[in-house]
Chains A and B, each alone.
Chain A
Amino acid sequence: MTGTISKKFSGMTKDRVKDLLIQNAIVIVIFLIIVGIIIKQPAFLSANVFRNILTQSSVRLILAFGVGGIIIIQGTDLSLGRIVGFAAIISGSLLQRVDYASRFYPDMAPLPLIVPLLISCAACALVSGISGWVCAKYKIHPFLATLGMMITLYGVMSIYFASGAPGPQPIGGFDTRYTNFVIGSTLGIPNLVIYASIVSVVVWVLWNKTTFGKNLYAIGGNPEAAKVSGVNVAKTTILVFVFAGILYGIGGFLEAARIGSANNGTGYGYELDAIAACVVGGISFSGGIGKVSGAIVGVLMFTVISYGMTFIGMDQYFQYIIKGVIIVAAVALDAQKYIKKT
């Protein structure tokens, strides 16, 4: 009798340990990778590295919030990278130094920073809003609507890129006000980190405290239920895309100055990083589930790993292999939590 009980008991603990391991497997794996990196290069543990990681995560996080909202309503956004590039070209072309040799608009007087930022955001909100409208109106899956937008927009931005005075060449020589605004620091904190923090707070409030946020989760969880309860599903869908566009606009504005130049290839592939970070952070493709904290964790983990792997001088192609495996493993392990065993 006692034998059976203790057997049962140990069996249960074993199961519980297994469950705990599965629940947190991806965090454990990433933690182990970080430990490995630290052992290989103890210098990784420094304030400077920490600062760099936060800075590198900032723009990614802003972009992840945009696509995260779309993932919550059971969608995805392939056009993210191109929209970011579009914003980067617009911002860059409007904010070059007056004395720079090959200016996009040679005779333009310096603009207040806010003007190019607003123009970028408005342009991106329009572009992304069109995708949202197509999804809502014609019931097209966002994968396809944004695939089309990604290709179309590349054409549009390349034409714009080539239309500048110096022809199709990288847009650089940015106004120092612009670069300082983006890559400078305030009280020792990198500006980018401050901007990402502000955006995080705004997104958190929007997702959790407003009707828009509640409708976002409701549509993602059960569109039919939302519809019969009188939620304007089409309007909310378009708003989700418009809001994502605004975030991409901010992201592109910051990214151009962070890199120091912009061309029609800027941003290419960013959508995959952002989507991967969301998924690793627990924003579920099945819809209706996802938190601001999840996006933050996802983005940070990804940046720590890529930064760390580069830090120890790992071959870039190896890095791709590890990142790819982490994405699939994260999703597979996440799914384990919800799969019913029979």
Chain B
Amino acid sequence: MQEYLLSMKGISKSFSGVRVLDDVHLEVRPGTVHSLMGENGAGKSTLMKCLFGIYQKESGESFLNGKPFNFTDPKHALENGVSMVHQELNQVIQRTICDNIWLGRYPTKGLFVDEKKMRKDTLELFERINIKLDPATPLHRLSVAQRQMVEIAKAISYNAKIIVFDEPTSSLTEKEVDLLFKIIKLIKGQGVGVIYISHKMDEIFQISDDVTVLRDGKYIGTNSVENLTIDKLVNMMVGRDLEQRFPPKTNVPGDVYLSVRNVTTKYAPVVHDINFDLRKGEILGIAGLVGAGRTELMETLFGVRTKVSGEIFMSDKKIDNSTPHKAIRNHFAFLTEERRATGIYPMADITFNSTIANIDAYKNGIGFLQSGKMLSDTDKQIAAMRIKTPNKRELIRSLSGGNQQKVIIGRWLLTNPDVLLLDEPTRGIDVGAKFEIYQLIINLAASGKAVVVVSSEMPELIGITNRILVMSNGFMAGIVDTDKTDQTEIFHMATKYLNQTREAQE
């Protein structure tokens, strides 16, 4: 029994009659990193919410250090040594590191806050996990990685025995991930049990000791990482062999359609001197580390960012894409990276979400919108994209991530675009739905559209593109034929300009 620091046994939970957790187990040994894996919707976050008392489990038992517990809320969990480093950091960025770490429990001396003690304690804390930051720095001056370190320090300051990391590396650079892993190893050495949630396979194998897999709310199994391979793990997660993770590339690139020449942006983060051609029916991948300027390049082509120099040609004719409105008129479409923030209108239905980018097309003679045509077009898109929804009046936020993404792609297709810019089209979408999105992208290219796909997942780029443009620190490191390259070469290119400053380049 005492072998486990945290032990959750037979946990079940239902929402309005639907079982989202069904007899799930999670047992974490002290001083280990325990990865929790599963597709989106597998029940990982529900299980964590049951741990923190955000949800109350219906059945099952939880033990911490052999003692049964049942937290009433995250604060209660925190005080008992169970804390979480959230994916979206929950911090007061206007305030200092000190103020954030001791928020809610400031040490006082009489009527006043004891700033000296706070600073001393913070420095001691930082020493324990080997981070070097001035506690008086306001958080808005720190990078995301540094803010995450502060969050970890805060967790430790509560004498955490269990720390949950929810997709901690999603916005970190390669180097920052290394530092994070060093810290995780350090705290694990101090006896803390780490629960690690991530979709990135390489990280799982790099950092974990044990892995627990959930699928459709059910417990699939727990294995020591030595006994696992990527294939075996994927198999556990999806319940079927994913030999065929990508559909066949049936698209055939034709004539050059879009030419980008010497494009440089005006404001930071700057992309420098980008040149490429894109053919009809071609899928061009954009690879690069976080912060390499991939999204910024897309935004520049679509007129969201200001160009300081450079030209864009379409069929050898110069075009002006200085605003998104002009870009849309030039038959460009842009699927943004942050679906929730800049893609969907969550409180509106599927019909609104499908037709909004093309709303002018539904005006009748006197300027009123024709709802009949809007509804029939939405029906067509629901059928064509195989969107799973009860009806076209459903609010988009009640759909799964994959189906939301299909609605947004459908929205852009209604504008009849020739050039599709897709920024992380499969982010936050589960493996099954990813395949459908890949098929959709390849079909679009096969029908003659020119497609650009930005992705952080290297296998995805290699799986569906014809050529890959690699960005590095705002510069273009080169373009490679997908058939003649591999992940190693792309990774080397992506690090090419990492130490380059603008001055050095000029």
Q: Is B40 an interface residue (CB 8 A)?
A: no
CB-defined contacts of B100 to chain A, threshold 8 Å:
225
A199-220 interface mask toward B, CB cutoff 8 Å, 1 = contact, 0 = none?
0000001000111001101101
In the bound assembly, the distance between CA atoms of A322 and B13 in angstroms comes to 62
CB-defined contacts of A289 to chain B, threshold 8 Å:
94
B346-363 interface mask toward A, CB cutoff 8 Å, 1 = contact, 0 = none?
000000000000000000
Is B111 a contact of A228 with CB atoms below 8 Å?
no
Size band of the interface chain A makes with B: 20 to 34
CB distance from A226 to the nearest CB of B (A): 7
Knowing A218-B92, A342-B267 touch, does A226 contact B111 (C-beta < 8 A)?
no
Of the stretches B101-109, B161-169, B190-198, the one at the interface is B101-109
Q: Is A162 an interface residue (CB 8 A)?
A: no
Q: What is the count of residue pairs linking A and B with beta-carbon distances less than 8 angstroms?
A: 69
A129-165 interface mask toward B, CB cutoff 8 Å, 1 = contact, 0 = none?
0000000000000000000000000000000000000
Find A230's partner among B99, B104, B266, B304 (CB 8 Å cutoff).
B104
Knowing A221-B94, A225-B90, A288-B95 touch, does A230 contact B267 (C-beta < 8 A)?
no
CB distance from B300 to the nearest CB of A (A): 9
Q: Is A229 an interface residue (CB 8 A)?
A: yes
Is B106 a contact of A221 with CB atoms below 8 Å?
no
Knowing A209-B113, A342-B267 touch, does A231 contact B92 (C-beta < 8 A)?
no
Is B104 a contact of A222 with CB atoms below 8 Å?
no
CB-defined contacts of A225 to chain B, threshold 8 Å:
90-92, 100, 103
Q: Is B305 an interface residue (CB 8 A)?
A: yes
Is B113 a contact of A214 with CB atoms below 8 Å?
yes
Q: Is B448 an interface residue (CB 8 A)?
A: no
Find B304's partner among A205, A218, A226, A342 (CB 8 Å cutoff).
A342
Is A222 a contact of B92 with CB atoms below 8 Å?
yes
Find A218's partner among B99, B113, B267, B305 (CB 8 Å cutoff).
B99
CB-defined contacts of A4 to chain B, threshold 8 Å:
506
CB distance from A2 to the nearest CB of B (A): 13
Is B92 a contact of A230 with CB atoms below 8 Å?
no
Is B267 a contact of A222 with CB atoms below 8 Å?
no
Is A218 a contact of B112 with CB atoms below 8 Å?
no
Is A218 a contact of B299 with CB atoms below 8 Å?
no
Is A228 a contact of B75 with CB atoms below 8 Å?
yes
Is A210 a contact of B91 with CB atoms below 8 Å?
no
Q: Is A337 an interface residue (CB 8 A)?
A: no
With both beta carbons as reference points, the residue of chain B lying nearest to A219 in the complex is identified as B92
CB-defined contacts of B75 to chain A, threshold 8 Å:
228-230
Residues facing B in A277-331 (CB within 8 A) are 288-289
Top 5 A-B residue pairs of the complex, sorted by shortest distance between their CB atoms: A230-B104, A229-B104, A221-B92, A229-B103, A288-B94
**What are 17 A-B contacts with C-beta separation under 8 Å?**
A209-B113, A211-B108, A211-B113, A214-B99, A218-B95, A218-B99, A220-B94, A222-B90, A225-B90, A225-B100, A226-B104, A229-B75, A229-B104, A229-B105, A288-B92, A288-B94, A341-B267
Besides A217-B92, A222-B92, A228-B90, 16 other CB < 8 A contacts?
A: A205-B112, A214-B95, A214-B106, A217-B99, A218-B92, A220-B94, A222-B91, A225-B91, A225-B100, A226-B92, A226-B103, A229-B105, A231-B103, A288-B95, A341-B266, A342-B306
